[in-house]
Chains A and B, each alone.
Chain A
Amino acid sequence: GENVEQHPSTLSVQEGDSAVIKCTYSDSASNYFPWYKQELGKGPQLIIDIRSNVGEKKDQRIAVTLNKTAKHFSLHITETQPEDSAVYFCAAGGNYGQNFVFGPGTRLSVLP
């Protein structure tokens, strides 16, 4: 089955700096790679996703890149703000939600 690794487990950045979180996956059949932000006591919120037919996707300060050959994908947050502080999870799975596996999460702290 799918196995997703995520690094780093914790990340502290100064406000305004960029943050990068990387994930690797094992199942070459996976073709849907979303990123979620989870605040304390709440459910995960989809912030961006990418499918295997695309190498990069951007939405304002957030971007995701995918290298399907190397089986890794990354989340990039630019101009970080304190409200970006949360736990971020990557996930990998099939296009229809099948075999969906989450990474272990990254706790991001943006210091003012």
Chain B
Amino acid sequence: GAVVSQHPSWVICKSGTSVKIECRSLDFQATTMFWYRQFPKQSLMLMATSNEGSKATYEQGVEKDKFLINHASLTLSTLTVTSAHPEDSSFYICSATRQPTWEQYFGPGTRLTVT
């Protein structure tokens, strides 16, 4: 159990367009979902924490108007990168936690390339 999926697995978009990434917990209801960004050969950096039905909490330095997070249900969170630019190219990974252990289960990631 505890499978998290992401869609799409990779996406290429043109500068100025918006891209939506979906994160789903397939076999459990996720109390909280997290969004991370990972640049090549670097660690994961937390972007935001998302709870179902409430506004996401963004980490310092992350533009909430650029990275829109919607947590519509206990199994789905979406990240929309608005007006994407080449510097937004990265590997975006979501994770989901479930009670009572609160372990984080990670999705397979989405590679975004902005041209």
Contact = CB atoms under 8 A, between A and B. Distances in A.
A25 interface: no
B31 to A, nearest CB: 8
Contacts of A95: 102
Contacts of B93: 43-44
B44 A102 contact: yes
Interface residues of A, number: 21
Interface string A63-107: 000000000000000000000000001000001111011111100
Contacts of A98: 49
A61 interface: no
A26 interface: no
Contact of A102 (B43, B105, B107, B109): B43
Interface in B86-115: 93, 95, 97, 102-109, 111
B34 interface: yes
B105 A46 contact: yes
Interface of A: 32, 34, 36, 41-46, 49, 89, 95-98, 100-105
Interface of B: 4, 6, 32, 34, 42-46, 49, 93, 95, 97, 102-109, 111
